[in-house]
Chain A
């Protein structure tokens, strides 16, 4: 605002103009802030849906088609884990980091990096490696969002599974070292066990 407009505004507000201005500015700040927060939360929630992820044909025709019918999609109890449950961290910090990384996927979509089946297959191993590496670094954090080691009932889990799990833990393995290629087609090449990534967390 020009200097004279400000003077006129101050004059029209009468006494205690600075205070009144400050109150209005604060209230405005609250509303804008609240609106921004609500919008961000809504945006985060919207980009965390199966429907949003499968909006891109690169996902829908390839990995989503492979995922359909697997145990995380359809099972006896109807408890599902879809795209965001395994590929987006639940904690807010890592989730925001992941969302920032995801904007790079927009670039890939524009340049058509994996927009045909052939291109997708060419990059499948590279994409799988990225997910496996991140899982190994976090001790399969996204798996553990739903599957808890302590929650595995000794009465209900098969003896074979229990002994394998005990062995895996003893060898310092993480979930994904054995449980890979479950939701999507296994890429050709070495698996998570052969990736040299230090499991830290």
Chain B
């Protein structure tokens, strides 16, 4: 929605700007361009994390059997995970891989497969990953 609005407003601004360029001051021309650019820049990162949907998918995928958001359970809490990956640029990529490819993890010295998220939708996976990293 934000994308559509931004593209439309950009288009509107460009058309307007062409007209106004013919007859108004250069300052207002610059201002309208700047406004459109700021709007576009603000919309570029992905839209806000849907915490409710992320938690619901996590519950459905049985994540909460071993993980808690903040408390100590069998696996690391999401707060711990977020702290571990803080500032790392490949955090999202690593977590997406972890949650979709069933990698082997060590439990009590034995190898076990880590379960994956119960969804084929990439956006939903990204939402959960971003939610975890925001804890």
Across the interface, do B70 and A193 meet the contact criterion of CB distance under 8 Å? no
Is the CB of A191 closer than 8 A to any CB of chain B? yes
User: Which A residues lie within 8 Å of B68 (CB)?
Assistant: 180-181, 186, 191
Residues of chain B from 26 to 67 with CB closer than 8 A to chain A in the complex: 64
A195 CB to closest chain B CB, in angstroms? 10
Closest CB in chain B relative to A164 CB, distance in Å: 7
Q: Does A101 contact B (CB under 8 A)?
A: no
Q: Indicate if the CB atoms of B71 and A191 lie closer than 8 Å.
A: yes
Q: Specify which chain B residues have a CB less than 8 angstroms from the CB of A122 in the assembled complex.
A: none
Q: How many residues of B contact A (CB 8 A)?
A: 11
Q: How many A-B residue pairs have CB under 8 A?
A: 34
CA A188 to CA B78, docked complex, whole Å = 12
Say whether B72 contacts A190, CB under 8 Å: yes
Question: Contacts A167-B108, A181-B64 hold; do A189 and B71 have CB atoms under 8 A apart?
Answer: yes
Contacts A181-B64, A181-B68, A186-B68; is A191 near B73 (CB within 8 Å)?
yes
B73's partner among A160, A163, A188, A193 (CB-CB below 8 A) is A193
Please, how many angstroms separate the alpha-carbon atoms of A11 and B108 in the complex?
88
| B68 and chain A: residue at smallest CB distance | A191
Q: Is the CB of A188 within 8 A of B70?
A: yes
Which residues of B, 96-122, contact A by the 8 Å Cβ criterion?
Answer: 107-108, 112
Asked if B73 and A186 make an inter-chain contact with CB atoms under 8 angstroms apart, the answer reads no
Q: Interface on chain B toward A: helix, strand, loop, or mixed SS? A: loop
B interface footprint on A160-185 (CB within 8 Å = 1, 0 otherwise):
10011001000000000010110000
What distance in Å separates the Cβ of A126 from its nearest Cβ neighbour in chain B?
Answer: 15
Query: Does B69 have its Cβ within 8 Å of any Cβ on chain A?
Result: yes
**B108/A190 in contact, CB under 8 A:** no
Bound CA–CA A178/B70 (angstroms): 13
- The residues in A between 110 and 164 inclusive whose CB is less than 8 angstroms from any CB of B are 160, 163-164
Minimum Cβ distance to chain A for residue B24 (Å)? 50
Contact B72 A193 (CB under 8 A): yes
Given known A-B contacts A160-B112, A167-B108, A178 and B71 have beta carbons under 8 A apart: no
Cβ of A91 under 8 Å from chain B: no
Residue of A nearest to B108 (CB): A167
Q: Does B19 touch A at the CB level, under 8 Å?
A: no
Chain A: CB-nearest residue to B112: A160
Given A160-B112, A181-B64, A190–B73 Cβ distance below 8 Å?
A: no
Are A178 and B64 closer than 8 Å at their CB atoms?
A: no
Check if A178 sits within 8 Å of B69, measured CB to CB.
Answer: no
6 contacts between A and B (CB under 8 A): A181-B71, A190-B72, A191-B70, A191-B71, A192-B71, A194-B71
Residue numbers of B with Cβ under 8 A of A are 64, 68-74, 107-108, 112
